[in-house]
């Protein structure tokens, strides 16, 4: 879906549209950081044991996906991934800075 169309949305409508989507993006990343905080206390063995009895492949896939999502969160907020991931050389770029200019800090 396009943020705006050429048929004449007002500046206020465009700003509201952009702001709303950036806030949703920020909230999604914050939710993922919270999910990581919860799953970081779990192991695949915790998920495969009763009463959950999750398949080992599923448990590993879930934990890996959440860890990767957390890496995205850190790259977005700090410009640097966790130490076990490939690192930025040079000065890290904070992807959230320009968005914070539009939506404000700690929005979500």
CB atoms within 10 A of CB 7: 5
The C-alpha atoms of residue 105 and residue 30 are separated, in whole angstroms, by 12
Q: What is the pLDDT of residue 106?
A: 64
Q: What is the pLDDT of residue 1?
A: 45
The C-alpha atoms of residue 45 and residue 17 are separated, in whole angstroms, by 44
Q: For residue range 46-60, what is the model confidence (pLDDT) as tens digits?
A: 999 999 999 999 999
What average pLDDT score do residues 26-49 get?
Answer: 94
Mean pLDDT lowest among 34-43, 54-63, 68-77, 79-88: 79-88
pTM of the model as a whole: 0.77
In contact, 44 and 60? CB cutoff 8 Å: yes
pLDDT category at 89 given cuts 50, 70, 90 is: confident
In angstroms, the Cα distances linking 63 to 77, 87, 99 are: 21, 21, 28
Choice between 72 and 6, residue whose per-residue pLDDT is larger:
72
Q: What is the pLDDT of residue 2?
A: 54
The C-alpha atoms of residue 79 and residue 93 are separated, in whole angstroms, by 5
């Amino acid at each position: 879906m396009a943020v705006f169309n050429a048929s004449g949305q007002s500046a206020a409508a465009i700003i509201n549209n952009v702001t709303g989507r950036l806030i949703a993006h920020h909230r999604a990343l914050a939710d993922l950081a919270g999910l990581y905080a919860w799953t970081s206390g779990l192991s695949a063995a915790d998920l495969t044991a009763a009463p959950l009895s999750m398949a080992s492949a599923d448990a590993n896939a879930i934990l890996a996906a959440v860890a990767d999502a957390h890496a995205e969160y850190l790259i977005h907020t700090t410009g640097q991934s966790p130490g076990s991931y490939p690192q930025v050389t040079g000065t890290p770029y904070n992807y959230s800075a320009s968005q914070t200019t539009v939506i404000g800090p700690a929005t979500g």
